[in-house]
Amino acid sequence: MPANDPILLGAYWFDLDGIRQRHADGADANALDENGHTPLTEAIAGGTGYPKVVKLLLELGADPNRADGEGLTPWQTCLTRRHDRVVENEYRKIRALLEEAGADRGGEALFDLEDQAAAGDLQAVTTLLDGGCPLEGPHASPIGAALHNGHTEVVELLLQRGANVEGSGAAVHGMTLLMSAANHGQLDILKLLVRHGADVCRAIDGADGCMTAAWYARQAGHHAAADWLAAQHPGAERKPIPKAALNGGPKAKYLDLYRHYTHGSNYGLDTEAIVKRLQRWDKEHGIHLLDVATDRFTLQFERLPDDAAKLAKEIAKFCPDTLDSFAALAEQSEQLEALPPDTRELLQGLQPDDKHFALKVLQRWLQTHKAVQLWWD
């Protein structure tokens, strides 16, 4: 067996004899696998962590200090799971094995810094930084921990000391610190990050995408944060709210649709196309919008036309998914007596095999409630 063949194969955490055999056949107990892991870091980080495998690998000559492709040593790999209470016992055993093998505990300070930043302990963070602790590293982001927990002063200190204002993981995962703060509606932290140079125009879905920090703020309902970001640069919000929807303009009734980027993209409908249709219904019947979300809202009519069937057909054509929800009632119509009175009345006299069943239910629903939820899945 070539030395670069993996010593860990298949369900290796159960296959101690197989590990011994592959080692006897020449497999290297320190070779990196295709994911850049050493056998030790793979046995430590995989699944729930496997103390028996770690013990065996050390006996077979695995280096307790060999870093993996991301620069994580076995000891540091243990620390990445330090808050996982589900595997606490396994990792206690693994740490004991590594200590017995003389593993280098270097790099602990960075994980301590992350914990102190998460706790908002400004003095402890300052002391660690003054002692030479690095600002970030593989699988440890003190500034991300401080941001997630809303500790503005700690975020500012880390930025002043040189932390990456976009976030160390942005190049790999796409999500920047600004996007994360926007998603949490942390306006003070947003302002701080922008003051330190964060890119308000950066989109996680690429240069032609729309998922900027302002998009994340809108999606989460943090419109004050989104509005502030949008005011920083014309490119900060790729789908800006039309002026006609602001300050009581002619489209003000549809402001929530623009704020949520409500769309039915699976039917080629963007927000503007939805608004255009709603404007027509508003002119004809008078409408109100409730419970607006990215892919749905409730449409309430002030008045129905004499021909409610025509309106039902228009709704069904505009929003087929809504019609599908009424079609699902066909199965229940065969057991009317077991249904609630309002549902029984809704389905009374309708035949489930009628090809217009769903449309007729929709018409009755409109006549009863003068409202319907539109949704695009």
Mean pLDDT over 294-307 rounds to 94
Q: Is 265 helix (H, G, I), strand (E, B) or coil?
A: helix
Q: What angle do CA 162, 206, 204 make, to 5 degrees?
A: 55
Query: Considering the chain, what is the average pLDDT of its residues?
Result: 91
Rounded distance between C-alpha atoms, residue 190 and residue 152, angstroms:
10
pLDDT at 34: 85
* β 296-301/287-290 pair status: antiparallel
pLDDT at 347: 80
Tell which residue, 182, 226, 185, 374, has the closest CA to residue 291.
Answer: 374
Distances (CA, A) of 245 to 226, 248, 254, 258, 275: 15, 7, 7, 8, 11
For the stretch 32-68, pLDDT in tens is: 988 899 999 999 998 889 999 999 999 999 999 999 9
pLDDT at 178: 97
CB contact at 8 A, 337 and 343: no
Q: Is the pLDDT of residue 336 over 80?
A: no
Rounded distance between C-alpha atoms, residue 276 and residue 264, angstroms:
13
Poorest-confidence range of 57-71, 196-210, 339-353?
Answer: 339-353
Q: Which two tokens stand for residue 48?
A: 């729930």
Q: Is the pLDDT of residue 341 over 90?
A: no
Q: Is the pLDDT of residue 1 over 60?
A: no
Q: Which amino acid is at 309?
A: A
CB contact at 8 A, 297 and 263: no
Mean pLDDT over 231-256 rounds to 92
pLDDT at 2: 54
Rounded distance between C-alpha atoms, residue 224 and residue 217, angstroms:
8
Q: Is the pLDDT of residue 6 over 80?
A: no
Burial class (CB in 10 A: 0-12, 13-18, 19+), 23: buried
Share of the chain above pLDDT 70, in %: 95
Residue of higher predicted confidence among 156 and 207: 156
Q: Is the pLDDT of residue 135 over 90?
A: yes
pLDDT at 156: 98
DSSP assignment of 175-217: --HHHHHHHTT-HHHHHHHHHTT--TT--TT-TT----HHHHH
Q: What is 165-240's CATH number?
A: 1.25.40.20
Poorest-confidence range of 93-97, 286-290, 331-335?
Answer: 331-335
Q: How confident is the model at residue 8 (pLDDT cuts 50, 70, 90)?
A: confident
Q: What angle do CA 113, 114, 118 make, to 5 degrees?
A: 115
Q: Is the pLDDT of residue 180 over 60?
A: yes
Domain ranges of the chain: 165-240, 244-375
Q: Is the pLDDT of residue 11 over 60?
A: no
CB contact at 8 A, 192 and 152: yes
Rounded distance between C-alpha atoms, residue 19 and residue 79, angstroms:
25
Poorest-confidence range of 10-14, 77-81, 150-154, 273-277?
Answer: 10-14
